[in-house]
A and B are shown apart, each in its own frame.
Chain A
Amino acid sequence: MTALENPPFPGGCPGPAVATTVAGAASRRLKDVIDGPVRGATVRAAFPSAVYLDTGSGVVAVVARDGLRLPISVLVTATSNRSPFAAVRAGDPATVGGGRLCARELEVTVGRWWNPPRPPALVRPEHLPARAARLARLLSARRRTLCYPVAMRLNRLGGALRGRHNTEDAPAALVGLGEGLTPAGDDVLAGVLLALRHLGRPECADLLWASISDEVPRRTTALSAALLAAAAAGDALPQVVDLLAALAGHRPVEPALDRLLAVGSTSGSDIAHGLLAGATGP
């Protein structure tokens, strides 16, 4: 699925005149798009805990307090059992800009900015292989394996990262591979990018991203593309950052992994496999 072209929107909120305005706290990654001029967008998906607005050049997630704090989120204080997004449906027109987001009766005014969390710097890099090995053992013990095509391609990418053989097309082969809003191949790639960025090989992250960034918007969903771009810049879910912090030597690996495995049906485990591949150095 590719991002739709959205016509520029003249301003104001589409949909009924009466909107319930709630306050939101936005990731600083979204500063330009939210503070910029009002533009049209489309609701890509709507769930009890989140809605995703596609602006054509990126995605803004509006997330309930108990939802996933993606680095492209605007958080509202309501929890999902209060159905804050009940009025919003996939396909609805929306607007983003002028400090606000609108979609049908939902109007969110941004009143606070936050930086997505970052893991602390890697300490005792000589122990990273041991921590990565622990992660590998735990993933195996919890029987959280990758599906076969993804595993095969990650294997090739891992080989490339370890410099064993030249496989320039290995990363691209993962983009968009799988089903759903965030295909497994993208989750794995996000994990690889984040591990490279934060565990001592940022230049590899840059090279990897440069090799796929042109293709990403064409080959995967808008949401997944936005999350990959965030991962390339080093931003991720707090649960991912926690496991990165564990691999960097600041906390135990096991509880951090278990929190990440609770994310999505397989997303958490796919990302963890990507982190493992990115943490396993040459």
Chain B
Amino acid sequence: MTDSVEVRRGAYHDSVSLMQASRTVAQVPGVGAALVAMATGLNIELLTGMGFATPEDAGPNDLLVAVRAEDDAAHQSALAALAAALLPRPAAPGALAEQPARTAGSAAARRPATLAMVSVPGRYAFAEAMDALEAGLSVLVFSDGVPVAHEVLLKDAAARRDLLVMGPDCGTAIVAGAGLGFANVVVPGPIGIVAASGTGAQQVCCLLDAAGVGVSHVLGVGGRDLSIEVAARSTLQALAALDADPATEVIVVVSKPPAPEVADRVRAAAGALGKPVVLCLLGPGLPDLSAAVAEVLRAAGREAPAWPRWAPPSPHEPRTGSLRGLFCGGTLCDEAMIIAADALGPVASNIPLRPEWALDASLRAPGHLMIDFGEDTLTAGRPHPMIDPSLRTERLLAEGDEPGSAVVLLDVVLGYGAAADPAGDLAPAITAARATATAADRDLAVVVSLCGTEADPQGRDRQATALAAAGAAVFGSNAEAARHAVSLVRRR
């Protein structure tokens, strides 16, 4: 095997396209390993970790092409496969064909748009989002890593123009039926959602769908909107917009508990609206999301159903060892930690409930722990784990080998934006991890929180069946999944 590491200057591609290209190249016969990625710090670390030489003088605007091939022919095939994978989208034929727009403003000028979606690397998101606002569009900023001062500037510039900034770091929105970012397929209905949490909003949408109740809009506001600095700028605009929207009958706000003075402003604004507002604030001592959805349903004059579950028949006896939560969705991780910590005590995490429970960069610790693989530092320069679950899958396999681990709790999020077949990726790893544990005379329980609707492209029931067949207990309610996982851990 020989290694080659090439740095292509100024050749930009988005991280998802590069992940797909990496995968294509790695599958070329004779290729042992491959990484095609922008040369961010994290990706250079990844490259070094794979045993490649570290390139000198490569910056985040340069493309890394690293290939480990058994001979020159394989190397050439790998490069040819890469070239094919990175071909530009075919342009419309003919001399009069338009060239693609190069800025959000230019795109907006070409065809009437109601909204811009910005998912460029966070370092560059501010300029693009400002441009969209100046073109008269509300904008969803999917990108993370935007400084809070820039967030405030964007939101003030938007408010002056009667536009809305959703984000930064807004993973989920549904606007007039269009699912943006990570969004489940739901029927239109009376519930309007304002969400500072993407996966929180997805969980609420999916539970409402399970209860047969549709959603008018999900207006994401970004995880920091309810902080003291941002002071609920977008939340207050979104509340007013939903209040005026004839399709919305009940409004739900999904967030972590905001700073008290911000919470007061939101409560005051909510109280002044003509429609009922339910605050789903996720925190210790507060109702979980499933309970909050039940309250929403009551406000809409409906009863909460039993949440769907696909539990395997095996008896669930508590076992000795610790609970390991491996999550893609930050809010789902948070909710599970709150439930677990309440029953089991300290839970170490990279998004810890208390500072003293923080995990170090190795993400390893004895005892109960939960990792949010979607956290900013784990997604710099690489796709979100809902799109590329490989880091999480590796960790699941490692937990099979970990003598102390007794129960693994996983979330699987379906819908637009998410991987095409998450269960197809995860089920073999669940089987393998359980088999590894069994070989070491341990019984590793796997619990899955499945956030999706039957209308999602992946099909909720199909995914649930595949996961259950691999030996996982599958729950539609994240809170129920977490409680089930906790019940499997013997308390000391």
Are any A and B Cβ atoms less than 8 Å apart in their complex?
A: yes
Report A's interface with B, CB cutoff 8 A: 25, 28, 31, 35, 99, 111-115, 118, 120
Which residues does chain A contribute within 8 Å of B312, judged by CB atoms? none
By the criterion CB–CB under 8 Å, are A115 and B246 in contact?
Answer: no
Interface string of B433-469 (1 = CB under 8 A from A): 0000000000000000000000101000000000000
B178 contacts the other chain (Cβ, under 8 Å)?
yes
Q: Which of B162-182 contact A (CB under 8 A)?
A: 176-179
Q: Report which of A25, A31, A35, A99 forms a contact with B177, defined as CB distance below 8 A.
A: A25
Could you list 4 further interchain pairs (A-B, Cβ under 8 angstroms) beyond the known A99-B455, A114-B188?
A35-B455, A111-B185, A113-B177, A113-B187
| A-B contact list, 24 entries, CB within 8 Å | A25-B177, A28-B187, A28-B188, A31-B187, A35-B455, A99-B455, A111-B185, A111-B457, A112-B177, A112-B178, A112-B179, A112-B185, A113-B177, A113-B185, A113-B186, A113-B187, A113-B188, A114-B176, A114-B177, A114-B188, A115-B188, A115-B247, A118-B246, A120-B246
> Could you say which residues of chain A place their CB within 8 Å of the CB of B246?
118, 120
A99: chain B residues within 8 A (beta carbon): 455
Residues of A within 8 A of B457 (CB): 111
Interface of B is mostly: loop
Which chain B residue shows the least CB distance to A119? Answer: B246
Q: What are the 7 A-B residue pairs with the smallest beta carbon separation, nearest first?
A: A115-B188, A114-B177, A113-B187, A112-B177, A120-B246, A28-B187, A113-B188
Shortest Cβ distance from residue B174 to the other chain A in the assembled complex, whole angstroms: 10
Give the complex CA separation of A112 and B215 in angstroms: 12
A-B contacts, CB under 8 A, total: 24
Docked complex Cα distance between A31 and B453 (Å): 15
**Closest Cβ neighbor of B459 among chain A residues:** A99
**8 A Cβ contacts from B405-432 to A:** none
**Cα(A274)–Cα(B232), bound, Å:** 48
A111 to B415 Cα, complex, angstroms: 11
Nearest residue, chain A, Cβ from B187: A113
Q: Output the least CB separation between B400 and chain A (Å).
A: 37
Q: How far is the CB of A18 from chain B (nearest CB, A)?
A: 18
Q: Which residue of B lies closest to A112 (CB)?
A: B177
CB neighbours (8 Å) of A112 from chain B are: 177-179, 185
Q: Mark B180-200, 1 if CB is under 8 A from A, else 0.
A: 000001111000000000000
Instruction: Give A118 to B216 CA distance when docked, in angstroms.
Output: 14
Least CB separation from A111: chain B residue:
B185
- Give A118 to B179 CA distance when docked, in angstroms: 22
Query: Which B residues touch A113, using CB under 8 A?
Result: 177, 185-188
Contacts of A118 in B (CB 8 A): 246
Q: In the complex the two chains form, what is the Cα distance from A25 to B188 in whole Å? A: 12
